[in-house]
Amino acid sequence: MGLEIDQENFTEHDFAEFSERLYQSLDVLKTQIKSPGFGQGAKKIGAELENYIIDAKGHVLPINTQLIDHTKVENYTVELNKFNLEINYDPVPLAANAFSQLQAQMDGYMSRLRQSAEAFDARIIPIGILPTLMHQDLSHQSMTDLPRYRSLSEQLFKMRGEHFKVHIRGDEELFLTSEHVALEGANTSFQFHLMVEHEDFADVFNAIQLTSCLAVAVSANSPILLQKKLWDETRIALFKQSIDSRSRNTVDWREPSRVTFGHGWVRDDAWELFAETVALFPPIFPILSDENPESIFAAGKTPKHEELALHLGTTWPWNRPVYCDSQGGHVRIEMRALAAGPTHIDMCANAAFATGLAIGLKDSIRDFMAVMPFRFAEYNFYRAAQHGLDASIVWTDPKKHQAKEMAIMDVLWAMMPVAERGLLQLGIAPDEVKKYLSIITERLENKMTGARWQKQMVDVFSEHNDREQACRSMLEHYIRQQATEVPVGSWSVKK
């Protein structure tokens, strides 16, 4: 999120100064992005994985700070709720075996974390939403006791002026209200970062937006919340509603949600996305750094733009730009819609598939944009999140100039060669491409994702158990299957 948040109360003067700094940073960044050398450093990928901490019975264990203190590894960080923590992986060069290198790193950090967790009789589980989660687990007391989380909750609640409301209709229906943002902490994700040539940023970002529906459908792993079977990727619906700060009483116009798919195709470069975020959303944390971006840039140095990073960290588009001052400055793309789990190889396959689609489509994306209004891409994203591999989406062949509703499975099969072409174009080794895309192909052949497996296993266990016990039994099977590192596409649905 950028600057460290160590205070909870702010004045009007704080907000005014912060807003002035944001616009100052935007002016500098606009020039910076167009400067020779910007975004020209070595290309890399990176990721963060959010995890649940649970006990032997499958209940959440609120010990993230104690566990992190015990590990003494800076790559582990706290999350919103005390029963979640995040693993931050080191950037990996975008080279022949990039995804295998990322997977090896994931294996290593998870092994160390699980060894430390044994001292607390705890288990570390990557899963989009824990199926055994209980309503009492999502209380105000569940939130990690840090100023940034308390202030975030208070500021969003103040903006809204009433309780947060969650109403999700899926296979079943769930309605919740809350006066804090702990509900959002039910979500855990695998956040993947991709660096590209900045001259390609707009085309790659738009290609990611267009194909996010496909990535979500094959990676869905969050079908159950509070023992209700909802969307295949319930995280998408829950995140948007659980921190919606917009007032329901607005009559003139309704400001956009801070959790969004986006507001249109990018026309030229990443600056548009930064400018849009500053223009549309009021600041939440008006904390200033000591850096003056104009002075730093005028001196031939690279500004950090910490206020801009802080502000963007209080909005949550499913795909977003991330500025970094390393290597003379660059903007990478963060994909936030992929769920945590089921296995490390599954998550790396999801990332490889999403990357291949983006690069494979970038040279023809403007043809797609000409015949595919942005609202259709947004529509597809939410339909894929709700229905997974059973979704129907609006798709088109740019050469035929005709958009029509299609089964997402048909689109996925048609786009597999595009993903392969994109990965090879990046210089990923052919064996590496085959390794990870074959995992996606297996899911399509068996019509199996983490979400479908969870729902089907709950049905199996519900034959002789109540829903609570069925979810607990399913989770234990999930954990055993996860430990084998066998991809979810070949998991069997039986006791």
Task: State the amino acid at position 60 in one-letter form.
Answer: V
Residue 361 phi, psi dihedral angles, 5° rounding: -100, -10
Other CB atoms closer than 10 Å to residue 125's CB: what's the count?
20
Q: Exposed, middle or buried: residue 77 (CB in 10 Å: 0-12, 13-18, 19+)?
A: middle
Whole-angstrom Cα distance, residue 225 to residue 452?
14
Residue 178 phi, psi dihedral angles, 5° rounding: -160, 150
pLDDT tens over the chain, length 495 residues: 445 677 778 899 999 999 999 999 999 999 999 998 899 889 999 999 999 999 999 999 999 999 999 999 999 999 999 999 999 999 999 999 999 999 999 999 999 999 999 999 999 999 999 999 999 999 999 999 998 888 888 888 777 656 778 999 999 999 998 888 888 889 999 999 999 999 999 999 999 999 999 999 999 999 999 999 999 999 999 988 765 544 454 445 557 888 999 999 999 999 999 999 999 999 999 999 999 999 999 999 999 999 999 999 999 999 999 999 998 999 999 999 999 999 999 999 999 999 999 999 999 999 999 989 999 999 999 999 999 999 999 998 767 768 899 999 999 999 999 999 999 999 999 999 999 999 999 999 999 999 999 999 999 999 999 999 999 999 999 999 999 999 999 999 987
Token code pair at residue 114: 């699980």
The residue behind tokens 């570390």 is: 124
Q: Exposed, middle or buried: residue 119 (CB in 10 Å: 0-12, 13-18, 19+)?
A: exposed
What does pTM read for this prediction? 0.95
Token code pair at residue 272: 């548009």
Whole-angstrom Cα distance, residue 50 to residue 178?
23
Q: Is 86 helix (H, G, I), strand (E, B) or coil?
A: strand
- Residue 76 CA to chain centroid, in angstroms? 17
Fold of 36-259+317-490: Creatine Kinase; Chain A, domain 2 (3.30.590)
The residue behind tokens 């989380």 is: 149
Contacts of 462 (CB under 8 A, 6+ apart): 470
Q: Is 269 helix (H, G, I), strand (E, B) or coil?
A: coil
Q: Is 267 helix (H, G, I), strand (E, B) or coil?
A: coil
What DSSP assignment string belongs to 287-345? ---S--HHHHHHTTPPP--HHHHHHHTT---SEEEEEE-GGG-EEEEEE--PBP-S-HH
